[in-house]
Each structure stands twice: as C-alpha cells, then as structure tokens.
Structure 1
Amino acid sequence: MATIHDEDLARILRDDCPYSDPTTEGLGIAGQPARATLTARHDMTVCAVEEAGRMFELSGASTSIAVGSGTRAAARTLLLEATGPAGSLHRTYKMAQTLIEILSGIATGARAIVDAAQSVNPHCRVACTRKHMPGMKQWALRAIEAGGAVPHRLGLSDYVLVFEEHRTLLNDAAPLSEHFARLKAHAPERRLAAEATDIDGAAALARAGAEIIQVDKMTPEQVAATAAVLSTLSPRPVLAAAGGINAANAAAYAAAGADILVTSAPYQAPPRDVKVRILPA
C-alpha cells in the first residue's frame, strides 16, 4: 500500500493546531490522563487507522490499533484506542477521525465495485483513475488499495494512453500503425493503451498495435460486442471499460468481458462515520 510519511501527518496536525488549544488548556485539563476510542458507526472497509494512530503518537499519546486498513468492519467495531494527556488527545482526535472517515469512505466505495465485478468475473480488476483531489495522490492510493482496487495510472508520466485528443493532432498522411510504432520505440518498456468510443474504432486501434483497448462510455452490450471482436485477434488486447462504472453496473461490465474496470466513483463516496469518545484514563 501507499506509504504516508510522518511529515505528512505532522502537517495535518499543524494545520489544525498551529499554536495552542485554548479550550483544553483554559479548562485546566490538558495534563489529565485520558483515553480516546474511535469506533465505526456503520459497516465499512477500514482505511488509515494506522496513520491516525501515528498522529496520536506524534502528539505524545500511546495507541493500540484494533482493526487494520483493508478490513471489513461492522458497525460498533472498535478501530483504535489512544491513551495519554488530554491535551494530546484533543489536539489529535478530530484530524484522526476525519482522516479515517474520508479514506474509509473511498475504500468502502472501491470495495463495493470490486465485490460486484468479481462476483461474476474473479479475474476482473478495478482500476481507479487519477481524478482524485489534486495534491492528494498518496491518500487516494492508500484508500483505493485498502478497498481492493489498483491505480489505473499513477500520473501522466506513468502510462502510455492515446486519446482521441492525441490522434486529432497526428499527421493523417501516415497510418496509425506508424504512429504507434514510433510511440513504442519511444517508450519500449510500457504497453501501449488507446481509447475508443465505438466497436469499429476499438478494432482499428487494436490492429494498429494497441495492446490495451480502453472503451469509453459504452453499454455492457457494446462492451460484449467489442470483446467478441477483439477475441478474434492474436494476441488479444486487454479490454478496459471506462466511463460511468460504479457498484450498480460493475457486474454487468465484468460479465460482458472487460478485463479491467476503470472508475473514479470511489472518490465521490460519502465518508464513513467514526464515533469518538474521550474519557478519564
């Protein structure tokens, strides 16, 4: 899974509490021994409990992780317990709670799509796009991986994917296969992917040398027809279905013959509520 470093966690804590906590300090309870528990309010696929625990530790508390990232947790499951001075717990708990809620929401959304797809095709993979909040790549990767999905591509530098927006700028005098050959020579260690919006276009891209055909906004029936055409080619390209993939239709696309489901839906998933209680230790 993606690695989150201490400086990233410390930055979150500093953003919320750059100076002091006048409430806890003003009440005279900052040094009082206390215990915080974080519990799932609803069923969820858990993510970022380890990072939340580390945030408590960076603030001077001790932690015990009850449930690790990637685990399916039922409502009322204890996720994390922290003990230490009340000032440390109050400085940390809201950011820790929010981090778990948002990332567990994404993980739960990803898991729902993975479960739906693999219920009909165990070999179908769910790949999440780079259309997450800019600047939050490591958090997005952490969440989708906890949900059983994989990155579609880590960024523009990671993957060769030819869109129509590229092809409109190519010299029409040369065949597409010539352009693809040049691209493969430029990036010989990467597979060449290309996106199509119809069945004939997908077949043409495959015959020109594309090794992965990504079809955009096709119906499951159109994906099935595309899969049938591609199956006549040798070698058969990998078929990725993109555009509007979600938990409600993932099974239909997987059953239609897609090898990969490309989706951004988990990033719009609602957070999963976490209940926090702070009591005397």
Structure 2
Amino acid sequence: MTFRWWTQATVDQLLAEDAPYGDLTTEALGLEAQDARLSMAMRSDATVCGVELASELFLAAGSDVQLLAATGARVPAGALILIAEGPAGAIFRAWKVAQTLVEYLSGIATLTADIVAAARAVSPEIAVVTTRKTFPGAKAQMIAAIRAGGAYPHRLGLSETLLLFPEHAAFLSAAGEGIATLRRAAPEKKVVVEVKTLDEVEAVLPAQPDVLQCEKMTPDDIRVVAARVAERAPATKVAAAGGVNLSNAAAYATAGAHVLVTSAPYWAKPADVKVVIAPD
C-alpha cells in the first residue's frame, strides 16, 4: 500500500493554485456540465509515482476515477495508469495539475529505480540513498518519488542525523574529537564523517566512524578506502557521495562502496504522460 504523504489540504491547495477563481475557458464555452472522459498513459517505460494523489485531485474536482497503476509500479510505454469520468468542468480543472504532478514525480522515481538497478546488478546488498537537496517546499513529494524508485533518504534534514563535515572539524582540534563528542551526546545515532581526500581518511579512521562519506572521490579512490576500512575498521561503512549518478553507479558499487549517496534523481527529466480528453 502506498504511504499517504499528503493531506486533503494538499489536494485543495493544488487545485486552488491552478484555478483559484474557476476555469475561465471551460466556463465561457459552457462545457462544465457535459460528460467527459480522460485517460492518462505513460509514453515510455517508467516507474510510476503520484498517481494516487492525481486520483484524489480528480475526485475532489467532482469526477469518478479508475486507478490502473500504483506508485512504485514499473509500467511499459503506452500503459494506461488512470481514467477519470465526469463533468467536463471537473475533468478540465484537475487535468493539468494531475498530469504535471505525475510527470515530475515519475521522472524522479524512474531515474532512482534505474540507479538502484545499475548498482545492485553488481552489488545486490548496496544501499542507494538521496541527499537533502530537495527543492525547498517540495520535500514530501520528492521523497515519495525516490521511495517509489527503491531508494531511501540519506538525510531528511539537520534534526535527525549526525554528519560531521570538514567545516565542523575546522572548529575542533581534530575530527576524532568531534566523533567522540557526538557519540557522547547522541549515543543512539550513527556518526557519519565526510572526507574528501585519502589523507583525511587516514586522519579519521582511527576513531572508527560508523560511516565514511567520501565526497567526490573517484571509484579508484573508493576502492582504496574500502580496502583500508576492511583492514582497520571493518565495522565502518563506506559511502560514495558527490557526483554519483546513473552513468557511474555500477563503478562505485564495484569499487566496494556500501552506500551510494546521490542527488541526481532530484534533477531527473520528467516522465512524458499522454492525456486524452473526449466527450463521454
């Protein structure tokens, strides 16, 4: 079952944003009460996301809906995912908001699923997680989309994870000091430490952080880090971050990363959704 990440207020807000004072064109043409039918289909192979919210947009506008696919489903080109029937006024009011929502979220979900598949083809146990670089105000939608594609959030925000950046370490005598302090303050949390060079790895490794987040390192660098971690801090996980995308996910997985941290899905090309509206 799809997790309901939206509220009725979300539905009402989305409809009001596009038609705050009604649909001038449809009303001026006198079409509001005519029976209409809308079908929504994917133009290419895609992982669907947002179709349940799209359905609620049509219901709230005053039409009946058949859901033919669920968030997280991989559907082939041409597959119908939703049909709405009702007064043309209701169909036209929800049409573009619902279509655009599904296009953006399915684009993110599809790229996420492709990255996950590429990485797990060579390392079945690898985790793919996404950064907190969501578009401000759209976190709920974008996290729902990466979840639909099989990834999890690396950080939802600053309030629930411990991540020691070099920028933090600059205020400390040593990164190891910061790791010890964080473990005392929040012993139930994993301590993640970002490193950018092999020298920084050497400096931090004696403190055995829970996760080494290797920022913008190459797959060859990750291979070296993974070997050092396996020998000297086997409980530490190696996360490749910064520039991880579909073209190199398999290379980082092959190099020995336990985790891929990526922002790439958030800039995915929207999926192309075909909508047909006709008198019913």
TM category, shorter: over 0.9
**1:22 maps to what in 2?**
24
What is the CA deviation profile of residues 7-43 of structure 1, one whole-angstrom value per residue up to 9, with x for unaligned ones?
1121111000001112111111101111110111111
1:81 is the counterpart of 2:80 = no
Match of 2:47 in 1: 45
Query: Does structure 2 conserve the Cα–Cα contact (< 8 Å) formed by 1:2 and 1:142?
Result: no
Give 1:178 deviation, angstroms: 3.2
Distance 1:194 1:2 in 2: 33
Which residue in the other structure is 2:198 paired with? Answer: 199
Superposed counterparts of 1:170-181, under 5 Å: 170=172, 172=173, 175-181=174-180
Deviates more, 1:88-97 or 1:180-189: 180-189
CA distance in 1, matches of 2:107, 2:56: 20
Which SS does the other structure have where 2:232 is aligned? coil
Q: Distance in 1 between the 2:230 and 2:125 partners?
A: 17
Aligned residue for 1:154? 156
Identity of aligned residues (%): 45
Unmatched tracts of structure 2, length 5 or more: none
Unpaired runs of at least 5, structure 1? none
Aligned length: 278
Question: Mean Cα displacement is larger for which, 96-105 or 30-39?
Answer: 30-39
8 Å CA contact 1:107, 1:144 repeated in 2: yes
Q: Deviations over 1:21-73 (max 9, x none)?
A: 12111111101111110111111111001110011111111111101111111
Contact kept in structure 1, 2:205 and 2:233, CA below 8 Å: no
The superposition leaves residues 106-150 of structure 1 with CA deviations (integer Å, 9 ceiling, x where unpaired) of 111111110110000010111011111111110011100011111
| 2:10 is the alignment partner of 1:11 | no
Letter in 1 for 2:115: I
1:137 to 119, 136, 139: 139
**TM-score normalized with structure 2 length:** 0.96
1:235 to partner: Cα distance: 4.3
Out of 38, 45, 49, the position equivalent to 1:36 is: 38
How far does residue 187 in structure 1 lie from its aligned partner after superposition? 1.4
Do the aligned partners of 1:195 and 1:202 also contact (CA within 8 Å) in 2? Answer: no
Say yes or no: does 1:213 pair with 2:212: yes
Which residue is equivalent to 1:108? Answer: 110
**2:258 aligned residue:** 259
Partner of 2:275: 276
Could you tell me how far apart the structure 1 residues matched to 2:206 and 2:277 are? 63
Q: Distance in 2 between matches of 1:34 and 1:215?
A: 54
Q: Following TM superposition, by how much is the alpha carbon of 1:176 offset from its aligned partner in structure 2, in angstroms?
A: 3.7
Corresponding letter in the other structure for 1:137: K
CA distance in 1, matches of 2:4, 2:27: 36
TM-score (norm 1): 0.96
Distance 2:162 2:178 in 1: 13
